[in-house]
Amino acid sequence: MDYKYTSKSIEDTMELAENIESEKFPGMVVCLIGELGSGKTVFVKGFAKSLGIEETITSPTFTLIKEYTNSEIPLYHMDVYRLDGDAKTLGLDDYFNQDAVCMIEWADLITDYLPEERLEIKFKIIDENTRVLILKPYGDKYEDLVNSVL
């Protein structure tokens, strides 16, 4: 089942991320899908802020993966937009099987490598400030998570 959330500002998007952070669990995978400027990195910023990460969050477009380990639970922020070659070379399973949270921007580019259980969030630009986020949980844990935050 898909769930819809309308964000009317950056603050709304960050608040949703903060609410999802409050329901986090080890091994959580959040897949962020949407065009450039749709709010994917803003979402990660809100999540990271709630984890207590004080570093500046930017999209890891050229490094592919940024690891934030100085928080209550590690956060692995991935951006696979510029992935050149096979996603197998990233060792994604190693990241997915840790006591951490993985957030993947442009996750639709590596669908075959994603775990079966995950949360997918599609960002759709409506206007300059408004975004519609479609949350699609895969698995009971993610279904429970979405139901608790929306």
Tell me: the pLDDT tens digits for 132-146?
999 999 999 999 999
From 84, 126, 81, 131, select the one nearest 107 (Cα to Cα).
81
Give backbone dihedrals phi and psi of 104, rounded to 5 degrees, phi first.
-120, 115
**Number of folded domains that form the chain:** 1
Contact present, 66 and 47 (Cβ < 8 Å):
no
Give, as one character, the DSSP assignment of residue 62: T
Structure pTM? 0.94
pLDDT of residue 84: 64
Any idea which residue has 């400027």 for tokens?
37
CA angle 14, 20, 26 (to 5 degrees): 130
Contact present, 74 and 94 (Cβ < 8 Å):
no
pLDDT of residue 135: 98
First to last CA, the chain: 13
pLDDT in tens, 84-134: 666 777 778 888 888 999 999 999 999 989 999 999 999 999 999 999 999
pLDDT of residue 60: 76
pLDDT of residue 59: 82
β 75-79/65-68 pair status: antiparallel
* Stronger pLDDT, 44 or 72, i.e. the higher one: 44
Q: How far apart are CA 115 and CA 29, in angstroms?
A: 8
pLDDT confidence band for 17 (50 / 70 / 90): very high
The domain that holds 55 is classified in CATH as: 3.40.50.300
pLDDT of residue 85: 61
Give the residue-averaged pLDDT of 20-31: 96
pLDDT of residue 129: 95
Domain carrying residue 122: 3-149
Q: How far apart are CA 49 and CA 31, in angstroms?
A: 18
Contact present, 29 and 115 (Cβ < 8 Å):
yes
pLDDT of residue 149: 95
Q: How far apart are CA 79 and CA 116, in angstroms?
A: 19
pLDDT in tens, 53-78: 999 898 877 778 999 998 989 999 99
